[in-house]
Amino acid sequence: MMKALKSNHRIASFFLLVMAGILIIHSGTTFLEMHKPDTLFPGPGVTGKGKLSDYVPRLKDTPMDTDLYFLKGKEPGGKFLIFGGTHNDEIAAHVSAITLLENAVVKKGELIIIPRVNRSGSTYTLEMEAYPQFLEIKTSKGVRKIRTGARYANWAHQFPDPEVYAHPLTGQKYPGTESRNLNRVYPGRANGFIMEKVAAALIEFINREKINLVLDMHEAYAEHYVVDCLVGHDRAMELVAMTLMALQMEGISIKMFQSPKKVYGFSHRAIGEHTDAMVVLAETTNIAFGKFRGKITQDLLWDGKDPFYDLLYRKGKLFVEYDSKKGISLDERVARHLTTVMELSRSLSEYDESKTIEIDNIPEYSELLDKGIIGLLEPKERNDRFQ
């Protein structure tokens, strides 16, 4: 066959064109796999499901629209809004949100969960990072896949980026790609860049629903100082301090920061300024997300064991304690986020009894560490009401 191709270059050209076509279809299909929504199993505590466009119709049929899950208790109380997937490569955030919506039962107050607040960013992975498209969860019923994603909205949904992104309220300048970073563009603009539209819609939603507390879940790399911490808006600092003490009593090493006043595009600053809600941002450590990691495999996503980081730790370059024999597992990171949710709701209840939120069916931190999170993410019977 090779002889025939070499002797007739037109047949060879046609053959290669067909091969390129097959490659285009294969890679295109692989990319488009990430545009399909995750299969979720809303748990017994879910009382309603909606879309952000139900509140802000201008987002309808756009890649910015996203699902909201409502977990309403039988008794009245406070309203607690939880964001997963602001940055979709920070996987513990949306895995924690999914774990909550599949397991939590609310007795008092209301929990509202947005697993993919930046839905556009969940449809691709960043170029040149070789980040796996899916997190594979080995359950007793087979492998369950949950998309990873990227910190920025998909460029296919916003092209081109501006050369420089100047924050519309403060004029603070960022690289143009940051116009697709939800956590730099708050409070957003209704007719602005793609993520500004999402930010503005979230502010409208929070104001209309009279949300009391917002938690924006994230992960950071170990060589960045804002890691394993809570960051609170000025009005939330008392709540953050109460939560921090409770977390430390459970054996969690964590620190706190007050939201800087001059860095305006962050959720913890701008949502606090433009709504009545108290806003907290939580960070855990993701080694697979770090800049010195080796190849990103499913094992690295799950166990966070990377010998390169031992070297950095010995040189005093990390802001967390690290030993690659132990790693920083996804179980531990999700356990930290879930315990933060539980302790924040307890602290809010102590802070203002009329805003009590009681959440049940989420194991304690030590139990989560012992048993892991896979048991909480087992595929369950699909509840057709919330698909």
User: What is the smallest separation between the CB atom of 170 and another protein, expressed in angstroms?
Assistant: 23
Q: Which is nearer to another protein, 61 or 381 (CB)?
A: 61
Q: At 118, which amino acid appears? A: N
Query: By three-state DSSP, how is residue 322 classified?
Result: coil
User: What is the smallest separation between the CB atom of 9 and another protein, expressed in angstroms?
Assistant: 5
User: What is the smallest separation between the CB atom of 264 and another protein, expressed in angstroms?
Assistant: 24
Q: Which residues contact 367 (CB under 8 A, 6 or more apart)?
A: none
Q: Which residues contact 301 (CB under 8 A, 6 or more apart)?
A: 91, 132, 135, 148, 288, 330
Torsions phi, psi for 277 (to 5 deg): -75, 150
Q: Which is nearer to another protein, 6 or 385 (CB)?
A: 6
User: What is the smallest separation between the CB atom of 24 and another protein, expressed in angstroms?
Assistant: 5
User: What is the smallest separation between the CB atom of 161 and another protein, expressed in angstroms?
Assistant: 9
User: What is the smallest separation between the CB atom of 17 and another protein, expressed in angstroms?
Assistant: 6
Chain-centre distance for alpha carbon 248 = 23
Beta pairing class for 278-285 and 105-114: unpaired
Residues that bind another protein (CB under 8 A): 5-6, 9-10, 12-13, 16-17, 19-20, 23-24, 27-28, 31-32, 123-124, 154-156, 159-160
User: What is the smallest separation between the CB atom of 174 and another protein, expressed in angstroms?
Assistant: 17
Q: Which is nearer to another protein, 9 or 74 (CB)?
A: 9
DSSP code string of 135-192:
EEEEETTEEEEEE---SSPPTTTS-SPPSEEE-TTT--EEEGGGGG-GGGSTT--TTS
Q: Which is nearer to another protein, 28 or 44 (CB)?
A: 28
Q: Which is nearer to another protein, 13 or 248 (CB)?
A: 13
Q: Which is nearer to another protein, 27 or 354 (CB)?
A: 27
Q: Which is nearer to another protein, 58 or 314 (CB)?
A: 58
Q: Which is nearer to another protein, 10 or 74 (CB)?
A: 10
User: What is the smallest separation between the CB atom of 15 and another protein, expressed in angstroms?
Assistant: 9
- Is 275 in contact with 211 (CB distance < 8 Å)? yes
DSSP code string of 43-61:
-TT--EEEEHHHH-GGGTT
Q: How far is CA 7 from CA 1, 12, 16, in A?
A: 10, 9, 15
Which pair of tokens denotes residue 287? 């080694």
Rounded to the nearest 10 degrees, the angle between the axes of helix 330-351 and helix 91-103 is 60
Of 355, 360, 325, give the one whose Cα is nearest residue 104.
360
